[in-house]
Amino acid sequence: MGTKNEKKEKLNFALGRENYKLLAIGFAIIVIGFLLMLGGKSDSPDKFSEDIFSFRRITLAPIVVLAGFIFEIWAIMKKPKDSDKK
């Protein structure tokens, strides 16, 4: 049987529980950004579709993806609260 110090040693993660939740949220933001890029294909291969140049695909989606990556960096760098270290 291990002592309390050994149990604390085994449960010592690099980040706190809140950081992992924030990482999951950041990942979801990135996935939403990539989903915003979907679509815009032409119904016929003979016709060119201008839908690929929509505001959503060219401007909004890359901004959302970039915001997701910035959020991920912040989630990693955020200091865990003292209550998470218990």
- Grouping H, G, I as helix, E, B as strand and the rest as coil, residue 11 is coil
pLDDT at 84: 46
pLDDT band at 6 (very low <50, low <70, confident <90, very high): low
pLDDT, tens only, 64-78: 999 999 999 999 999
Residue type, 77: M
Say how far apart CA 47 and CA 18 lie, in whole Å. Answer: 50
Please tell me whether residue 16 adopts helix, strand or coil conformation.
coil
Residue closest to 64 by CA, chosen among 30, 37, 15: 30
pLDDT digits (tens, 9 = 90+) for 21-49: 999 999 999 999 999 999 878 788 888 88
pLDDT band at 56 (very low <50, low <70, confident <90, very high): very high
